Amino acid sequence: MTGLFGGRRVSKADARIEAYGTVDELNAFLGVARAANTMTELGERIESIQNDLFILGADLATPMDMNKVSVLRIEARHITAVEHAIDEIEELLPPIRFFILPGGCSVAAMLHACRTICRRAERAMVHLSTLEEMNELTLQYINRLSDYLFVLARYSNRLAGLEDVRWNKEE
């Protein structure tokens, strides 16, 4: 058993624990990517995501009916900031008209791994949303975040002077 914000005890196998635990795992892997990174701007972007993930984790760890508990929650401004960042970076990247393989420089490969953890967190959060009331903005945020991690992976390859790794469907 473990405690949620507000004092309620739940099983460590609870859907809420799975959701915020996966967000925590994503945050830890982003820390690995940030530690391996040598590009200042990219590091600042990753750190900003990590800070937002603490808010997301607190949001997920606090049931919506806990009115007595003061907790930060994901807000529309978090989603808007991610969407703005995606647009900003996509302007610096060539459009892709093919599937790309995760990889390139080590930071890009790590960010692609983070993207897949983010997608798993999203699936866990969708499952949680079928069981309990939750902040609907968290689902929008996590969905947009995986897209942001994808463009950050592409951007890190660009900063490293590497092309995206094209999927070769012939092999």
* Domain of 61, in residue numbers: 2-166
For 152-161, what is each residue's pLDDT tens digit?
A: 999 999 999 9
- Reported as a pLDDT band with limits 50, 70 and 90, residue 5 is low
**Total tally of structural domains belonging to the chain:** 1
Residue 127 clears pLDDT 70, i.e. is over it:
yes
Cα dihedral 64, 9, 141, 134, rounded to 10, equals -30
pLDDT cut 70: percent of the chain above it = 92
pLDDT score recorded for residue 106: 95
CATH code of the domain containing 22 = 1.20.1200.10
pTM above 0.85, yes or no: yes
Whether 151 is in a domain gets the answer yes
* Element spanning 33, H or E: helix 15-36
Whether 76 is in a domain gets the answer yes
Q: Whole-angstrom Cα distance, residue 127 to residue 13? A: 13
Whether 171 is in a domain gets the answer no
Residue 67 clears pLDDT 90, i.e. is over it:
no
Contact 38, 108 (CB under 8 A): no
Residue 7 clears pLDDT 90, i.e. is over it:
no
